Structure 1
């Protein structure tokens, strides 16, 4: 079976393929077995740490040939082992490499290789399998396709420390659902893995501990079984307590604490148990402080650097850890976790990938239901980013009934929460369909909308104007909303234009007026309001170019030739002196203002 990459990558890589790369692949087909073996060894040395070379060799078809040699009984054991090593090295490249390897059916080939009695070959196959399975692009279900695989892996645990490390790591990464937990449990995972907790190898102990944490997660059956397990005469819970001591590495402390926490939640250990009260009171407090510090550090590192954000989200299990941090018992940890999430949410790429893949919006919405204000502020800031138009999370968040929650935030005593509530609604209304816009207006209510338009906090006012501007876009939407709330909206616009506000507020308000002027029926609310027309005239002659430009947009929309009633509107505005003003503005030094005025003037000439 041919092994191909996606066409764009294949073309770009092929353009850089060297004669050397082809030579490595050609040597795999040599009739002399010794030359083939030497060719594989040379290939192994060439691909170490060289992603470009790995991609070249994959494109040139090295993978199918390596798998063929690995599976041939006529191949020497040394050759088969070296093939497994090279495949493992190729798997350590990019995610595209992993996809190519999986497409070439590397997993069943390596699993078949585990039936060989030779330990060195088994370890090479397991090392490669481990690398493939810990990649997020590998379907973990491939481990469970053949019912004989799990029991065979259990039987290999006793072979060496390497088999123990690799197999437990595979299990901990491939245990994603209650069904996976059940399969591993039924095949003796607890009895087989428990002794590894006292292995002389730290890597083995750590991977075994991670296995127990994923097995016990929200699983009463596993937790109830764990509580009675003895490891070298010591209860498993005591082993976990020992692993939480401060002289142990931080990763071990946190994972052991996680195991005990899951057992407590399942009712397997009483919360007042002596082994829990002392250790979880002190060590978990220490663990919480460590997690809080870690999340804060990641938040700081990723706040302004896209590359660092990418590295954080690509770190093994990092997104899962951040998401689980949102439901921690410690408020400080929850706050630090959501701060980290907010930092990462500034990335368009992460919103489209990691945030979507991990359904981050679900725990975030849960957090917003009941949290202290400081957590609410950070969580609602993050939600604002998830509601941006290009975020795939926007649709499911909308369907979850978020509008009511956000409208309630706008009534908060905290200016920061009012800003975030209205900001999120503003993002939600951007290019939204009419149903969503109507629901926002209905839920927010006219009174609250205009209360926000007179908010003493300028940020709240600006975001409310932004919401109104997004609501009043697309002609049918403009006409529909203005037919229901036109009188109040025009009153609010009048008040803002007459009050003492900064340039940005006035500009945003004039832009809203320009949107209203773009409606079919809504524009009559301006044309029949001579006081408003005088205000537009005033701002067309203002000293600030931004305000002049926004006001000119209003007039341009009112006199546009292609719309019904344009001649009557043009006549009225000519009588009011707008043509003279447009003529003057067409000679303005600012090119944008000059162009806009000339475009408007052309409507009179057409």
Structure 2
């Protein structure tokens, strides 16, 4: 082996880093730095061998006048921290941070540059320490960085803001001390200053309408115009960052970006940037997703310029880097969240299998957005009716994700399952035979309320329009005792979903209604208890629709509902929850209560007259009469039906 090669091995170089001879140490530093730049494997090897603390010691012990040693050690530290969290961790644990801060005040410009660049590398990582803008001295130091004439130092200041500014209080402080003005002035600087400034501006403006208002007012709107102009810049990254800044403004304060022209322009730029082979292409789909999220009008514009086709074509090109893949799936999920034509186009482009395969991806983030994509695409009633999603290819991996160690993935999978189990084709057996019910029931007992909620929601949708044989299977696995406990769950939103589940259970005639009477009426008694004590309209509405469905059954069913409305143990002076609901300010609750009365007083039923007598005695009929001009049209029309039915009865 040549002598030069053997002396440049990691172990040998680390030995030379410890040399007491300055020149040998300097050469070793240069060689280490050159070997690890852009070489992740070498970088990890040196970190494992303990090179980072040695390099930090060199920086710490170097004399302020030894510019070469300071520059090379700072540069090596920055290289270790660049793009590798393990490297950032090693750098921080070795105590490099204060030494890098120290050399920013060095009289040698090259030393300052090296320190600033290394600190920027560190602040690009989530592991970097958060900077406290609310502390006066630290704020002053930040301002000194931003006001520096050194390009790398101002870039460092901007990077610190991008990394650390998270709260509205921090945004306000930075705004009040003139940071916005300084960042806007940097938009006229070098490419690096411009990009760092755009990134920081987006961070300060995000979700803060007050700060956005002040920004838009800067220089009579010239600041906003400057960013808009930068969307035309020759540099792809600058165009992307300018778009992201405008998206942040538009998402929080839509009034500043109302025109169709600017929205179309942003879409066109971002769709074009999707093709960029580098980092810009990785970040562009996330920006696109943010632009169109929850905005049907923008999604329509994107569809018109073939955004779905272009996103799907990127998937068809073959292997895609993980972050880019995640971004594309997220963008497709958002694009298909509201528009049926987008979903249809997506399905026609033969990428559903790719999304389904992504459910097994090693990346947690990719698995999550794959679930989201399937959830949004499966909102299509047309394709649900065609049974497009109820097959083993989709069901099996989704069920496997219910065992995922990540709770967020379990929730994402449940959300997708909640849609596909609605299925109108009678193919629910695919899900049931795959063991889906058992897994949903297990998660409905989770200590995590979010998991419980989503599991119950999925069971509710599985129960929707299910054949009676499947209802029995679901209830057998769930058990009446578990369902009763879910109806009385501590969380109101779970109570609501549980009652909606029961509503779907009893929907379908007498054969369906009988399910709530098994085991001594465990379920219906739980419903009655909940309605007597609950004060949340959403829960009460679902409960009343359950009673309304039960009241559509036979005489026994109707009398059982009356028993819940007027329990024997209640005193004569006790107001029925029915009266409370009829007097509610919530029109939907009033309507649900009236529906129940309609089903109890249907004239062709033999016991209707006696029930009307009881309802009149409790003041219910009188209350109904007072609602003939109810402001809620649904309630108003139903009131007329009740009164007409009562007039047809002898006891009326």
With normalisation by structure 1, the TM-score equals: 0.48
With normalisation by structure 2, the TM-score equals: 0.46
